[in-house]
Amino acid sequence: MMDLHAAQIQGFFKKPVDHLIARPLLVKYLKSLSLNETVIVSPDAGFAKNARKFAAQLGASFAIGDKTRSDHGENAEIMEIIGDVSGKDAVIVDDFSISAGTVVETAKLLKKRGAKKIIACFAHIPLTEKGVEAIENSDINLVISTDSINNDKVKKSSKIKIISVAPLFAETLKRMQSRDSLSQLFNAIPEEVYTASISFMDD
């Protein structure tokens, strides 16, 4: 499995479960974009720990959004950005987005605080049509995610780039069969796996 919304879910299975992480693949792609003075932004406190790992692997600074919800729906209000984003390329990271409400509101506030290029980065992308439309009409320059979910709706957007995780799952299965270590895949992606993943981007 990949990027479970809560790590505790892994313990609910009776069979052994390997919890893969999209972050090393996404980080490697972000490095290829030659961003200028990058700041990693967590849209709320809930994803801050994972966002700090993105920042550490990219050698980037870190900021966090102060988010509040008035109900249990998808609507959230970003009250403030805690951290310096002025003059920097901001990368908003989260595990997934459905309506794009949080990421769009975060991007709007980042722009007000002086961020230059704004990128959103997700492990999964179950965006609705309205979510895709919100991305298209937002301050976000680029969205990067994986094909862990087959979502034809995102193909309509020129802003959304999809990296395939099929080579990563194939490499995992190969290592399981040969009883090789999986631990390397949790921190870094072998070059041949990354190359194969990127080759699917324009397909």
- Residues with catalytic roles: 67
Phi, psi angle pair for 108, to nearest 5°: -60, -45
Cα 132 to chain centroid, rounded: 16
Query: Dmax of the chain from CA atoms?
Result: 52
Tokens of 132: 């895709």
Q: What angle do CA 144, 89, 148 make, to 5 degrees?
A: 10
Asked if 62 and 39 count as a contact pair (C-beta separation under 8 A), the reply is yes
107: closest CA among 124, 127, 85?
85
Asked if 36 and 58 count as a contact pair (C-beta separation under 8 A), the reply is no
Antiparallel, parallel or unpaired: β 77-82 and 61-68:
antiparallel
